[in-house]
Amino acid sequence: MSTVHRLHEQASLGERFKSFALEQVAPHAHAHDSEQTFSVSVIEALKDQGYLGACLPAVAGGLGLDMTAYGSLCEALGHACTSARNLLTVHDMVVHTVAEWGSPAQRDAWLPVLARGERIAAFALTERSAGSDARGIETEARETGSGFVLNGSKSWITFGQIAGLFLVFARTGDAISAFIVESERNGVEVAPIKDMLGARGSMLAQLSLTDCLVPKENMIGRRGKGYPHILTDALTLGRYTVAAGTAGLQRACLEASIGYVRQRKQFGKPIAEHQLIQRKIAAMATDAAAGKLLVEEAGRHLDAGHPRALAQVAMAKLFTTRAAFRAASEAVQIHGANGCSADYPVNRHLRDAKILEIIEGTNEIQEIIISRYA
C-alpha cells in the first residue's frame, strides 16, 4: 500500500471514529458522569462496531487495526467521554495480554468472546499498598493439585462493576503471575466504588478474592512472567490508549472554549476579541497539535516494534495529560461561573483531566521511564 493510500485510509477511519463517538457516545457523557454509571447502549454500540476487538486480527474476531488507527479510535472516544475510552483501555489491555502471552487454547477460548464483547474484561493489578511498584503485590496464588487458590484484594478496578472477566496479578512464591478469573467463580466479590473526582462513569470496584480456585489453564504466560514482562507489555498499551484519549480531551477543551468565546460578549464584543483570551486559545491549540503528534509518533513506534516505544508512549502520556489539565483549567477559566456548573462539559473535563495524570502509571512514573531512555 502506498503512503498516500495509507494516509487516506487512516483519515477515512479517523472520520468514521469521530462520527461514531459524536453520535453514539457523546450524548451519554454527561449522564455517565452525573449518574456514575455507564450506558448499556454505548456498550452495545461499541460491540456492534467491533471496537471491543479493535486491535485483534480478523481471524480472532477483531478489526485488525494497527496502533496508529487504534490511537485514532481512542482519540475520538476520549473526545466524547473519558469513561468510554477507559472501557476500551482496560478491556484491550486484557485482550492484548491474552493475544500476546496466552497459549493457543487460551486464545481460542477467550479472544472471540472478548472481541464480541460477550464479557467485558478488567485489569486487576492495583492494591492498597501496590500500584506502580508491582513487587508489592500481596494477593497470593497458592498452587494446589487442581489449580491455584487466589486470596487478596484489588483496588480501583476500572469497570470492575460490570466485568465478566478479570486479569489478576498475584504472587506465586517470589514472583508475580497473571491469571484469568471469571467473575462468576466462587470467592469473587465485587464492591462498587463511588464518588471519585473524575471519570465517574467508569464503574470502579474493589475486587476481593477469597479462596478463589482457578484451574491451571487460567494462568497466562509462564509462572512468574506476570511482572515485569506481561505487566510492562500491557501497561504500555494502556498508556498509549490514555495518551490518545487525552489528546481527544485536549481537543474537546479547545472546541468548547472556542465555541464559548465566540458567543460570550463582554464590554460590547465577543470575548474572543480580547487578547488575553486569544492567548489562552493559542496555547490550547498549540498543545493540542503537539499532543496529537506525540501520540502519532508513539503509535508508529508501537507498530514498528521499536525498542524505544515504551519511552515514546510515556512521553505522549506525560505531555497530553499535563496539557489536558492545563487546557481544562483554562477552559473553566474562560467559561467563568458557567464553567463551574454542571451545565457545561468543561466542568467534567477538568475533573477527568486530573484522573488522567494518575491512571496507568502516574506522570511521575512516566518521567522516570523517559529519563531512563533519555
Partner 1 sequence: MEVTKEHDKSGNKNTKTGISSFSSKKEDVTAQVKQFLVKATRIEAISDDEELFRPGFLNSLLATQLVMFVEKQFGIEVVGPELSMDNFGTVERIADFVANKLETRESWDPS
Cis peptide before 228 (omega within 30 of 0): yes
Of residues 192, 215, 228, 259, which one binds partner 1 by CB under 8 A? Answer: 228
Binding flag, residue 306, partner 1 (CB under 8 A): yes
Cell of 71: 490511537
Binding flag, residue 103, partner 1 (CB under 8 A): yes
Binding flag, residue 222, partner 1 (CB under 8 A): yes
- Which residues does 320 contact at the CB level (< 8 Å), separation at least 6? 243, 244, 246, 247, 249, 250, 291, 294, 295, 356
Measuring CA to CA, which residue among 212, 213, 335, 349 is closest to residue 277? 335
What is the rounded distance in angstroms from the CA atom of residue 99 to the CA atom of residue 13?
24
Binding flag, residue 107, partner 1 (CB under 8 A): yes
Output the CA torsion sign for 105, 106, 109, 111. Answer: negative
Residue 142 in contact with residue 116, Cβ under 8 Å?
A: no
What residues are labeled active site? 360
Q: Is 233 or 330 the residue whose CB approaches partner 1 more closely?
A: 233
Q: Spell out, one character per residue from 236 to 265, where the chain touches partner 1: x when CB under 8 A holds, - when not.
A: ------------------------------
Output the CA torsion sign for 127, 129, 131, 137. Answer: negative
Q: Is 262 or 306 the residue whose CB approaches partner 1 more closely?
A: 306
Closest separation between CB of residue 111 and partner 1, Å? 6
Binding flag, residue 233, partner 1 (CB under 8 A): yes
Q: Which stretch binds partner 1 (CB under 8 A): 58-66, 131-139, 142-150, 250-258?
A: 58-66
Binding flag, residue 64, partner 1 (CB under 8 A): no
Look at the block and give the residue holding cell 478474592. Answer: 209
Q: Is 113 or 285 the residue whose CB approaches partner 1 more closely?
A: 113
Binding site for partner 1 (CB under 8 A): 57, 59-61, 99-101, 103-104, 107-108, 111-112, 221-222, 224-225, 228-229, 232-233, 306-308, 310, 369, 372-373
